[in-house]
Amino acid sequence: MTEPDFEAALRDQLAATVLNRTPGEAPYEAIRRQGLAARRRRTVAFSAALVGLIAVSGTALAVGRHGNDGPGTVAASAAGGAPAPAPASVSASPSAAAATTGATPAAEPQPPSSPAQLADGITFAQAATALGQCLEFDRQTQPPAPTTTPGAQTQTTRPPRPTHDLGALSDYRILMAMKQTGDDNAPGDGIVVVGISQGQHPDRIVCHQTDGKTSGVQSGGAGPRAGGPAGLVDPDVNAGKLYRQAMLDGHPWKLPYRWGSIGTFGPSVARVTVSYGRGPAVDAALDHGWFAATGTLDAPVTRAPHIKGYDSGGKLVYDSDDDKGYAKEL
């Protein structure tokens, strides 16, 4: 067979083989498994990218919080999904920690010796709260500490206002609490609480609250007054805050008017009475060397309360009318 004849025969045989070849079925199951695997790989990759995006967004929110935002604040997703949990490194807020660990309640003052020292339905808790607010008010209104620049000369036209420390609420015992009637000098009704210090602070503070807010705090000691009899009865020099009503320009008194009287007494005194206006004499409560009395005026007065002290035998040993250091006129 010649070479051209051989090539022609080979081509005919190959053509016949191709024509007689039937293609097999497509590998459907293999293709389906490959497609599912590819889909799972895409889902995992997308989920990982989404988690990374949420983590980055959460970090940005945490860094961008303002100072008044609570550390436990959680931002919800824009799509309305469940809020992302707070980072594990963020500690709980002090209030939350106190709630879980059981915070110790704030210290309280000592109560008065008798319930009668809390007048007008004022409870001990209310008086303690008012006294604590007055102490905080005094701390917040203290003058700032003077600051000087090295080498600079300080020019002052008057001495700086002195600072003081009235101490903590637990340093005090409540001597008296009563309603307070407003006047032209201090309008608005409220309550007044007298606290006696047990620590190294001024012996007595008078706390005024008007409409639920602190409106004044007076502090002072219990030293003897000039002209007063030593060791007997010593009316508080600032007790006028409790029994004097300041009505200006001839305005009439606001009646009925709740009044109070406080002071100290010596060991030889067993009873103190106080009378004011037309009312009867009131037996003052005797509480750790202090006396406290209260009553109600139904008519204006021009003279201060009349105070008397008696010994254990009933003998009169003190009369404010004879006390040269006691201001008898209002």
Q: Is the pLDDT score of 80 beyond 70?
A: no
Q: Which tens digit of pLDDT belongs to each residue from 313-327?
A: 999 999 999 999 899
138: number of CA atoms within 13 Å, CB side? 22
CA atoms of 217 and 208, how far apart (whole Å): 6
Instruction: Report, as an integer, the average pLDDT of 32-61.
Output: 47
What is residue 150's predicted lDDT score, i.e. its pLDDT?
62
The angle subtended at Cα 10 by Cα 8 and Cα 11, nearest 5°, is 65
> Which SS3 state, helix, strand or coil, does residue 328 take?
coil
Model confidence at 21, pLDDT cuts 50, 70, 90, reads: very low
> Which SS3 state, helix, strand or coil, does residue 138 take?
helix
More confident residue, 250 or 178: 178
Amino acid at 48: A
Percentage of residues in the chain having pLDDT higher than 90:
39
Q: Which tens digit of pLDDT belongs to each residue from 123-175?
A: 999 999 999 999 998 888 777 655 555 665 555 555 555 566 788 999 999 99
Percentage of residues in the chain having pLDDT higher than 70:
58
Q: Is the pLDDT score of 252 beyond 50?
A: yes
Q: Which tens digit of pLDDT belongs to each residue from 117-133?
A: 999 999 999 999 999 99
Detail the DSSP E strand segments found in the chain: 172-180, 190-197, 204-210, 213-220, 233-235, 257-265, 271-275, 282-283, 285-287, 290-297, 306-310, 316-319
Q: Which helix (H) or strand (E) holds 7?
A: helix 3-19
The reported pTM is: 0.62
Model confidence at 238, pLDDT cuts 50, 70, 90, reads: confident
> What rounded mean pLDDT belongs to the chain?
73
Which residues have C-beta within 8 Å of that of residue 222, sequence separation ≥ 6? Answer: 203, 204, 234, 236, 264, 290
What is residue 212's predicted lDDT score, i.e. its pLDDT?
84
